[in-house]
Amino acid sequence: MARNLARRRALRSFAKRIGLSPAGAELLALLDRALTHDSYANEKSRAGSPDSVSNERLEFLGDAVLGTIVARALYDRYQSDKEGSLSRRRAAIVSRAALAATARRIDVAPLLLLGKGESAARGEQRPSILAGVIEALVGAVYLGEGYDAAQRFVAREHLAFAGEPDAADPKTLLQEYAQARYKRPPAYAVTDESGPAHAKVFTISVTVGGALMGTGAGPTKKQAQAEAAAQALRKLSAKPRASGSRGPRGTDPST
């Protein structure tokens, strides 16, 4: 890790604070990379600096490890839940909002390396960046100390504070899935409106990734949207894996 002594001391203190074993050079280098956003790495790369590796690869690895750890925890805890319910619970726990909350709680912002533009835009407060850091940290702990250490880290610093995952929030879960899979939210559209003014019934469809995935009806648009989202989640959870499709974020540990 080609950074100054103050950086190494800060990382060593951070490792101790989040319950890791005394950090040697390898783990410090991994933590340093986990806290390096690609905007910073790109700037350094253009300047010819060797410190030009971002946390993206660690984020990719950590996402898979995190998903597996959370899946096992839910499998053990909710023994009567079926696959669809477990998938929705996991999606809530590994959602961008939940991971960003953990990043704020363990205070990663002072150690986060951002490019000048991203720093000026207060990137250290952006949920997508914070969530990516947690995934990268999981990847770093996994590489540096092994799966058991990564499992303990996730249990101690994330699962212990995640609260009871809500398996009945279909709109939020579908939003998380669509953002992770297609980089854009689901699209809701009113397809029918019937009944007198005092007893309206709205029918709403939801499209995910350009495909119609659900339809719902209800006395309010909000309720109809929730029903449409729930139907979409059921379809996504029921899709056979051989088709190459994925359920809500975290359903497949390989993603």
Domain boundaries, the chain: 5-162, 170-243
| 3 state DSSP class of 94 | coil
Q: Which CATH class is domain 5-162?
A: mainly alpha
Residue 217: alpha-carbon gap to chain centroid: 30
Active-site residue, 135 included? yes
Active site residue 51: no
Over residues 70-100, the pLDDT tens digits come to: 999 999 999 998 887 788 788 888 988 889 9
Evaluate if pTM is beyond 0.75: no
Q: Which amino acid is at 177?
A: Y
Q: What are the pLDDT digits (tens) for 178-228?
A: 888 888 999 999 999 988 777 788 999 999 999 999 998 888 898 889 889
- For residue 100, the 8-state DSSP code is H
* SS3 of residue 56 by DSSP: helix
The DSSP result for 76-89, as a single string, is HH-TT--HHHHHHH
pLDDT of residue 244: 41
Which residue of the set 135, 145, 169, 176 is catalytic?
135
Q: Select the CATH number that applies to the domain covering 170-243 from these four: 3.40.1030.10, 3.30.160.20, 3.90.550.10, 3.40.50.300.
A: 3.30.160.20
Q: Which of 32, 38, 59, 63 is catalytic?
A: 63
